[in-house]
Structures are given as structure tokens and as C-alpha cells.
């Protein structure tokens, strides 16, 4: 067993225009002051990382690592959630997802996808240069608009969608494999990989690619009413990244899992700061320790009620309290009867 590393924080929801959230130095100082030991870094903002430069220059990567370490922190993973989303976009979402791409690629889905694929390739090499072994991303989606269809889905549509998704991701996965880095898909509503079954469908299409791994975030499963504890039993060998994000599901006679087009604060299912929702993190941390999870516990803050900085401060302490320092001996070693060789065991058995 392994003691989980942490606490760490995903920077995406905190980056902004005002200090301390507008530069790498300032946000590192802020994170360290709250007791965080690691940062998960989104890769679209050059104030925090030049992704292409990190991929092409080991010197730059080393300088970046040194800067982060000077604040007592480590980079846990890089994130290409937004770029990963653009690897596969159904035309129904073109206008909305254009916001994730540079201006020169907007209104041009083919060029936008090519840019996104190149971003993932940079991320693989940047992760290698930074000494990282896991990477956080989204799968993108060609099929999400058909998850609860009317009229019914045409025969063969889902298979065709996953075949195409795998075709787009396999070359990316191969590059990550060359770099020794796991691609950790965040299983998430809006992605074609949104639960265990869809992940398995994708895994089959990429021939069980060793780098097609998982970012475990139980908050999304509470909102789907999926057994997020048993999920760990099924997929622990593929879980290589972990978001500590809470959520709650409180259905009424008026709304349930689909939320009635309401704001986050008014949905039956909503995300909460760690400890404020319904997720059983005690069991989660125990299971991940039991299954020898070797990665980080990374707080992702998304809450429609609590102030972000309050949530960050409380989240750091929440993770610290839940990390289990694993034992290096059995609790009943004091009562050992000794022996253990074949002759001793045979004597106990009367042989």
C-alpha cells in the first residue's frame, strides 16, 4: 500500500486577473500558504506555462519545476481538459466550444481539432520533461446529444461514434506511451466517456491501450446516481489521478438528475466544497490506499454557495485529514507465533 500524496489544488478555477491569481509566482505563494503541497496546472494560459516551450525545451521545463519547488510545491499533473474537449466536437456544439480555441482556429472545426491534437502531443512531451507520469484531460464527445434520444438512436450509431473517437485518440495515446505518461480521462457528463460502461466501450476500441487511464472524481457520479465506491473496485488499476470534489443530489417532486435547466444553486444535483456534500471521502481514501493508488489527492473547487478562497483553505485541511498514512506492519505482529518455514507449518498441521 502507498500513502496518497497531497493535498494539492487544481488551479483552473482560481486563475484570474487579480493577484494572487494572475501569475505563477503569486498563485504558488497563495497555495503554499494554505498548506497545499502540489498544483495541477491548466495549460492554456501562458502566464502559468508555455506548453509548447515546455515540450521542446528541457531547460525551460527544469526552470518551471524549480520555480514551483521554491515555494515548497510540486506540479502534480498538467491539464488539457479544454484542448481534450476539442479533439472530438459534435457540430451542434461548434459555436460554444470555439471559445476554447485561439481566434485563428474559430469557425474552422478541422483546424481547431488539429490544433487540439497538437496541444495534446505537446502535453505528453512537456509532462516527460517535467518528470510527470500522469496527465488530466477530457475525451471530447461526438455522441452526447444522443445520450437520452428521441427519436431513438439509429442502429450502429454508438459503435460508429466510439470507433471514430478511438481513431482520433489512439495516435495521441501512443505518443503519451512513448513519453511514459498515463492519459487520465475525467469521466464527466458532456463527454462520451461519462460512466464506467462508456469508458469500457472506449477501452475496447483502443485495444485496451495501457495509457488510456482514469481521473477519478466522485462528484460526477453522485449526480448520475452511480455507485462511486464500487467504481473504484472495478477500475482501481486504471485510476491514476484523483479530484477531491464534493457534490449532493436532492431530488424533489419537480426535478431530478436532469436539473430542469436551473442554475447550479437551484439544481437537485450540484457540486459543493469538500466536506459540504454527500460524498463518502473516508471510504474513498481508504479504498485508494488499499489498492495502492500512488498519485495525488487534488482539490477541484466548484461550489455555487461557498466563497472560493474559503473553500480552498478548508479543502486543504479536509484532504490532510483524510490522507491515510499507511502502515508498514500488521497490527497483530506482536502476537506472532514465529516460525513460518515449511517444517514449522507442517508441525502445526500435524504432518
pLDDT value of residue 37: 98
State residue 9 phi and psi, 5-degree precision: -135, 135
Q: What is the C-alpha to C-alpha distance for residues 275 and 262, in angstroms, rounded to an integer?
A: 23
pLDDT number for residue 334? 65
Of residues 346, 268, 286, 339, the one with CA closest to residue 4: 286
Spell out the alpha helix ranges (H) of the chain. 24-33, 51-56, 58-69, 81-85, 94-97, 109-130, 157-179, 196-205, 218-224, 228-235, 281-290, 308-322, 342-348
* SS3 of residue 246 by DSSP: strand
CATH no. for 5-348: 3.20.20.150
Task: Show me where the domains of the chain are located.
Answer: 5-348
DSSP string covering 45-108, please?
Answer: -TTT--HHHHHH-HHHHHHHHHHHHTTT-EEEEEEEHHHHHTTSB-GGGHHHHGGGS-GGGTT-
List per-residue pLDDT tens for the chain, 351 residues long.
Answer: 899 999 999 999 999 999 999 999 999 999 999 999 999 999 999 999 999 999 999 999 999 999 999 999 999 999 999 999 999 999 999 999 999 999 999 999 999 999 999 999 999 999 999 999 999 999 999 999 999 999 999 999 999 999 999 999 999 999 999 999 999 999 999 999 999 999 999 999 999 999 999 999 999 999 999 999 999 999 999 999 999 999 999 999 999 999 999 999 999 999 999 999 999 999 999 999 999 999 999 999 999 999 999 999 999 999 999 999 998 877 666 667 776 788 888 888 898
- The whole-angstrom separation of Cα 324 and Cα 306 is 27
C-alpha of 182 from chain center: 11
Q: Is the dihedral of CA 330, 332, 338, 343 positive or negative?
A: negative
Amino acid at each position: 500500500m502507498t500513502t496518497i500524496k497531497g493535498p494539492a489544488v487544481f488551479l483552473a478555477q482560481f486563475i484570474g486577473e487579480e493577484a494572487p491569481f494572475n501569475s505563477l509566482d503569486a498563485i504558488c505563494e497563495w497555495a503554499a500558504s494554505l498548506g497545499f503541497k502540489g498544483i495541477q496546472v491548466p495549460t492554456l494560459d501562458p502566464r502559468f506555462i508555455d506548453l509548447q516551450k515546455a515540450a521542446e525545451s528541457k531547460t525551460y521545463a527544469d526552470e518551471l519545476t524549480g520555480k514551483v519547488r521554491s515555494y515548497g510545491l510540486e506540479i502534480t499533473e498538467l491539464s488539457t481538459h479544454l484542448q481534450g474537449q476539442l479533439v472530438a466536437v459534435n457540430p451542434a456544439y461548434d459555436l460554444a466550444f470555439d471559445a476554447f480555441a485561439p481566434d485563428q482556429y474559430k469557425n474552422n472545426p478541422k483546424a481547431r481539432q488539429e490544433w487540439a491534437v497538437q496541444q495534446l502531443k505537446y502535453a505528453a512531451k512537456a509532462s516527460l520533461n517535467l518528470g510527470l507520469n500522469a496527465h488530466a484531460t477530457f475525451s471530447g464527445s461526438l455522441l452526447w446529444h444522443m445520450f437520452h434520444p428521441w427519436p431513438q438512436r439509429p442502429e450502429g450509431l454508438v459503435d460508429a461514434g466510439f470507433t471514430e473517437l478511438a481513431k482520433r485518440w489512439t495516435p495521441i495515446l501512443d505518443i503519451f506511451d512513448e513519453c511514459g505518461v498515463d492519459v487520465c480521462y475525467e469521466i464527466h457528463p458532456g463527454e462520451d466517456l461519462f460512466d464506467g460502461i462508456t469508458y469500457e466501450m472506449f477501452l475496447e476500441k483502443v485495444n485496451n491501450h495501457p495509457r488510456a487511464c482514469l481521473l477519478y472524481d466522485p462528484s460526477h457520479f453522485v449526480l448520475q446516481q452511480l455507485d462511486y465506491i464500487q467504481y473504484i473496485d472495478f477500475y482501481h488499476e486504471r485510476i491514476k489521478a484523483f479530484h477531491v470534489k464534493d457534490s449532493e443530489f436532492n431530488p424533489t417532486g419537480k426535478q431530478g438528475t436532469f436539473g430542469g435547466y436551473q442554475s447550479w444553486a437551484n439544481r437537485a444535483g450540484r457540486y459543493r466544497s469538500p466536506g459540504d456534500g454527500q460524498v463518502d471521502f473516508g471510504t474513498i481514501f481508504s479504498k485508494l490506499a488499499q489498492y495502492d493508488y500512488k498519485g495525488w489527492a487534488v482539490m477541484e473547487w466548484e461550489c455555487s454557495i461557498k466563497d472560493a478562497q474559503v473553500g480552498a483553505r478548508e479543502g486543504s485541511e479536509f484532504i490532510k485529514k483524510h490522507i491515510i498514512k499507511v502502515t508498514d506492519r500488521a497490527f497483530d505482529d506482536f502476537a506472532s507465533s514465529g516460525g513460518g518455514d515449511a517444517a514449522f507449518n507442517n508441525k502445526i498441521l500435524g504432518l
